[in-house]
């Protein structure tokens, strides 16, 4: 069990989510066990007694997330309301508790996946595994990051960002890590066997996570070999793909797609529309942030513009499209393929970036990496701030 805890802590540290020794994890099997003492065990024991859960994660995130969450919680004492797609579909909002109290926190967790304490502590849980708590912890950090920088950009453009926000923004921006070069190329195609395809997908997935171009498990990846599309399973982590890749027949002769990514239909339509073989989808943060920056005045789209935006928009020449996960009339299966037919990359409003390649994942990863770097530079240009740049 101790190694189980350590594996998650290593993963969170590598992702920049926590510092060593700052997160308390509990797991209930035959008995309740903890990864460390001197943490939040007392609170945790009461939460296990009040909730139908088998795992718990409590801790202060690493910077810059800690400063961001403390600031947002101080200004939103009931709940933080990010507008990104991940929050809309997975978290709904980020409830805040002014006290670190079992009753207050359990009341929140009976309705939501997480609770944020005003001091920046994140409390999450799992009903099946500790991985559920990890996914939520990661998603909270992502959503708070996107909201903080999105809101600041909007306020800056209106000239109404107050002194406190500016001070926190400057401090947080200086904490951002610098750019990392692409480095060693990925496996080169063309690929001719299933083994080669899976090895290439595994390598590209790991590199996407390593470069922090995706959070928790929300990215996906696929590759077409002949009449089969190999795609990551729903809920799989891009840095742990072996055993989590489904071969889906393009002719409909196989039912293997039952566990495939929820965006399988989008991948299938992209392949059909573009003739490309490799698709890589991540959630680069500044790409998501800029996709939500719009200067259209008197827009009648309201809060539904992320699904049905009628305006043609782009970021640095990369098209921005609306859409939601699924196969409905406004599903990504309809909006993304049309954009990728004319561009090797497209950003879904508030969601993430899709990139395509021909014979391997080198071009798709390069696009994911370079577009995010350019979006980050462009963001700081728009807020006229020289710090925090690559």
Kindly state the DSSP code that residue 188 receives in the 8-state scheme.
P
Instruction: Average the pLDDT over 380-385 and give the result.
Output: 91
pTM of the model: 0.93
Strands 94-97 and 114-117: parallel
Mean pLDDT of the chain: 90
Give the model's pLDDT for residue 43: 84
Instruction: Average the pLDDT over 351-357 and give the result.
Output: 95
Domain ranges of the chain: 2-175, 194-382
Judge contact between 296 and 309, C-beta under 8 A: no
Q: State the Rg of the chain over Cα.
A: 21
Q: Which CATH architecture has domain 2-175?
A: 3-Layer(aba) Sandwich (3.40)
Give the model's pLDDT for residue 48: 94
Q: List pLDDT tens digits, range 117-127.
A: 999 999 999 99
The token duo for 389 is: 């740049």
Instruction: Average the pLDDT over 81-107 and give the result.
Output: 89
Residue 97's pLDDT band, with cuts at 50, 70 and 90, is very high
Distances from the Cα of 52 to the Cα of 7, 56, 125, angstroms: 24, 11, 10
Q: Which residues contact 137 (CB under 8 A, 6 or more apart)?
A: 12, 17, 23, 57, 59, 61, 114, 122, 124
Residue 254 scores a pLDDT above 90:
no
Q: List pLDDT tens digits, range 287-336.
A: 999 999 988 766 765 666 777 777 788 999 999 999 887 777 788 988 99
Question: Whose CA is closest to 371, among 383, 351, 354, 349?
Answer: 354
Instruction: Kindly report the backbone phi and psi dihedral angles of residue 361, in degrees, each rounded to the nearest multiple of 5, phi listed first.
Output: -100, 5
Q: Higher-confidence residue: 256 or 73? A: 73
Identical fold between 2-175 and 194-382: yes
Rounded CA gap, 160 and 78, in Å? 23
Give the model's pLDDT for residue 22: 94
Strands 352-357 and 23-28: unpaired
What distance lies between CA 214 and its chain's CA centroid?
5
The token duo for 44 is: 């945790």
Q: List pLDDT tens digits, range 196-227.
A: 999 999 999 999 999 999 986 678 999 999 99
Rounded CA gap, 120 and 99, in Å? 11
Give the model's pLDDT for residue 389: 45
Residue 172 scores a pLDDT above 80:
yes
Topology of 194-382 in CATH?
L-fuculose-1-phosphate Aldolase (3.40.225)
Instruction: Average the pLDDT over 83-109 and give the result.
Output: 90
What distance lies between CA 15 and its chain's CA centroid?
12
């Amino acid at each position: 069990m101790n190694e189980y805890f350590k594996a998650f802590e290593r993963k969170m540290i590598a992702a920049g989510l926590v510092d060593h020794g700052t997160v308390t994890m509990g797991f209930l099997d035959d008995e309740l066990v903890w990864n460390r003492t001197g943490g939040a065990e007392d609170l945790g024991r009461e939460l296990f007694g009040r909730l139908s859960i088998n795992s718990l994660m409590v801790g202060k995130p690493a910077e810059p997330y800690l400063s961001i969450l403390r600031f947002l919680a101080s200004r939103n004492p009931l709940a933080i309301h990010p507008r990104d797609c991940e929050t809309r579909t997975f978290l709904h909002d980020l409830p805040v508790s002014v006290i670190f109290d079992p009753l207050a926190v359990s009341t929140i967790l009976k309705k939501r996946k997480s609770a944020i304490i005003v001091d920046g502590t994140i409390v999450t849980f799992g009903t099946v595994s500790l991985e559920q708590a990890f996914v939520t912890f990661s998603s909270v950090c992502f959503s708070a990051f996107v909201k903080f920088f999105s809101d600041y950009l909007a306020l800056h453009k209106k000239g109404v960002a107050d002194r406190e926000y500016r001070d926190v923004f400057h401090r947080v921006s200086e904490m951002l890590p610098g750019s990392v070069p692409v480095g060693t190329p990925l496996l080169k195609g063309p690929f001719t066997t299933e083994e080669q395809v899976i090895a290439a997908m595994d390598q590209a997935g790991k590199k996407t996570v390593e470069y922090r171009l995706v959070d928790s498990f929300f990215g996906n990846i696929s590759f077409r070999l002949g009449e089969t599309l190999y795609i990551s399973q729903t809920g799989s982590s891009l840095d742990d793909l072996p055993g989590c890749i489904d071969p889906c027949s393009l002719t409909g002769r196989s039912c293997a797609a039952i566990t495939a990514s929820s965006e399988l239909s989008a991948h299938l339509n992209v392949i059909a529309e573009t003739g490309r073989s490799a698709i890589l989808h991540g959630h680069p943060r500044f790409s998501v942030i800029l996709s939500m920056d719009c200067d259209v005045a008197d827009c009648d789209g309201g809060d539904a513009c992320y699904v049905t935006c009628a305006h043609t928009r782009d970021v640095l020449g990369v098209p921005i499209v609306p859409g939601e996960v699924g196969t409905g009339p406004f599903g990504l299966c309809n909006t993304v393929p049309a954009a990728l037919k004319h561009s090797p990359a497209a950003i879904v409003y508030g969601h993430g970036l899709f990139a395509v390649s021909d014979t391997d994942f080198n071009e798709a990863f390069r696009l994911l990496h370079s577009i995010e770097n350019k979006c980050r530079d462009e963001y700081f240009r728009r807020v006229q701030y020289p710090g925090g740049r690559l």
